Amino acid sequence: DLIQGGAGNDTAFGGKDNDTVVGGEGSDLLLGDNGKDTVAGGIGNDTIFGGKQEDLLLGEDGDDFLSGNIGNDTINAGSGNDIVFGNEDDDLIFGKGGSDTLYGGKGNDSIGGGDGDDLMFGNNENDFLEGYTGNDTLFGGKANDSLLGNAGNDLLSGDAGDDTLTGGAGNDVFLLNRSLGTDLITDFRKGEDLIGLNPGLSFNQLTITSSNNQTSISITGSDRLLAKLNNVAPNTLTASDFITL
């Protein structure tokens, strides 16, 4: 079925079948419901829910709220400053234009920030997050995540799990988790990037050594390995390379 909202602030529900729901102009409330639906907000600040199966959600113009709910959803927030929740299952999320806030939720999600200064959360499972352009903030969440800042001055935090952090171009900060997981930092550049430490942890508490052609950062007097760095000599790291956040 095709459900067309038109001009004005519309409320539209997809129903049981595989529907196409188009909001048109105005600030619309759109629900795909059952079925594999395509839901497009159009112009305006829209609220869009995917429903119970694998849906395609398009925020398009405006500052939109999009929620995939159940199923492996594809969500393209469009232009504007959008808020996106993937929720259940393995979702593909694009922020595209604007400064967006993107949550993967449960499942192994792939999240791309697009243009603007985006805030991204992988949440549960093994997620892939990429900031693209802008000064982005990336949090991996639980499990073993891959974070790529790309262009801009980005903050990358793997959180729990053994995560892979790649800053890309720009002056990036790699935030280490004191309690959980060991992160691999692939492209730390001395004089450009910084390694972030949680409050209560200082450079003087760290032991920096070489192991298996990598530099290891651990907490002195414990077996807690915080991070491994590629292509960085251990004797080149000083207090000036670290920052407490």
The whole model's pTM is what?
A: 0.95
Q: Does a structural domain hold residue 95?
A: yes
Give the total number of structural domains in the chain: 1
Burial (Cβ within 10 Å: 0-12, 13-18, ≥19) of residue 52: middle
Residue 28: band (very low, low, confident or very high) from pLDDT cuts 50, 70, 90:
very high
Share of the chain above pLDDT 70, in %: 100
Instruction: Please state, rounded to an integer, the average pLDDT across all residues of the chain.
Output: 95
How many helices (H) and strands (E) would you count in the chain?
Answer: 0, 26
Domain extent, residue 82, equals 72-204
Model confidence over 39-77: pLDDT tens digits?
999 999 999 999 888 999 999 999 999 999 899 999 999
- Give me the residue label for tokens 């869009």: 48
- State how far the alpha carbon of 175 is from the alpha carbons of 68, 180, 184, 197, 202, in Å: 29, 12, 11, 6, 13
Model confidence over 187-221: pLDDT tens digits?
999 999 999 999 889 999 999 999 888 999 999 99
Q: Does a structural domain hold residue 39?
A: no
Q: Does a structural domain hold residue 226?
A: no
The amino acid occupying position 70 is I
Q: Which residue has the higher pLDDT, 94 or 32?
A: 94
Q: Does a structural domain hold residue 126?
A: yes
Q: Residues near 223 by Cβ (< 8 Å), separated by ≥ 6?
A: none
Give the pLDDT confidence score for residue 119 in this predicted structure. Answer: 99
CATH number, residue 167: 2.150.10.10
The amino acid occupying position 241 is D
Give the pLDDT confidence score for residue 162 in this predicted structure. Answer: 96
Give the pLDDT confidence score for residue 197 in this predicted structure. Answer: 96
Encoding tokens for residue 188?
A: 């730390």
Return the closest-CA partner of residue 240 out of 177, 169, 192. Answer: 192
Residue 94: band (very low, low, confident or very high) from pLDDT cuts 50, 70, 90:
very high
